[in-house]
């Protein structure tokens, strides 16, 4: 997790999505992690969530949404000060997980959507460090950035 330095995607935001929940009605990126924070040594699971800033363009692809510079991050288990109620930027999040103990471990990554509003659109170009995942009809294509 601490080695994560490039994260984001492009999104196709429809007008219907905006009508259903505003321009912030978007999918998010979720990492299942072992936070490995000293204050919660027995806690080996949390979901690390990035919520993008609102997208105002509709019915077309957005530019790349960079999760390291936009939106906000939080952990679902309240292991650090970065909670859903106390949102952090990417650097604050990484700092909160770097407490001198074992490094956090990423178990999995997913693009998700909360239970708040219906969302129907598309995500493409999911970037995790040097890999970009393009979602095509015939499967996921991985390319190097």
80-131 pLDDT per residue, tens: 999 999 999 999 999 999 988 899 999 999 999 988 999 999 999 999 999 9
pLDDT value at residue 97: 94
Using alpha carbons, list the distances in angstroms from residue 94 to 33, 89, 104, 134.
Answer: 13, 9, 10, 26
Band the pLDDT of 2: cuts 50, 70, 90: confident
SS (H, E, C) the chain: CCCCCCEEEEEEECHHHHHHHCCCCCCEEEEEEECCCHHHCCCCCEEEEEECCCCCCCCEECCCEECCCCCEEEECCCCCCCCCCCCECHHHHHHHHCCCCCCCEEEEEEEECCCCCCCCCEEEEEEECCEEEEEECCEEEEEEC
pLDDT value at residue 41: 83
Per residue in 11-66, pLDDT tens? 999 999 999 999 999 999 999 999 999 888 888 999 999 999 999 999 999 999 99
pLDDT value at residue 34: 95
**What is the torsional sign of CA 26, 57, 124, 138?**
positive
- Which residues fall within 8 angstroms of residue 38, CB to CB, at 6 or more apart? 99, 100, 101
Q: How many residues belong to the chain?
A: 145
Whether this model's pTM surpasses 0.75: yes
Contact 47, 76 (CB under 8 A): yes
Q: How far apart are CA 114 and CA 48, in angstroms?
A: 13
């Amino acid at each position: 997790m601490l080695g994560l330095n490039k994260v984001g995607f492009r999104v196709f935001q429809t007008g219907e999505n905006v009508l259903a929940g505003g321009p912030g009605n978007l999918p998010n990126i979720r990492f299942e992690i072992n936070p490995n924070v000293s204050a919660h040594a027995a806690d080996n699971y949390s979901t690390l969530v990035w919520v993008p800033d609102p997208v105002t363009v509709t019915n077309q692809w957005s530019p790349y949404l960079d999760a390291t510079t936009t939106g906000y991050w939080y952990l679902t288990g309240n292991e650090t000060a970065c909670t859903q109620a106390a949102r952090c930027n990417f650097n604050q999040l990484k700092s909160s997980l770097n407490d001198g103990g074992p490094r956090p471990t990423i178990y999995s990554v997913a693009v998700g959507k909360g239970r708040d509003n219906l969302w129907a659109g598309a995500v493409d170009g999911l970037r995790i460090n040097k890999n970009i995942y393009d979602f095509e009809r015939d499967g996921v294509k991985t390319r190097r950035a």
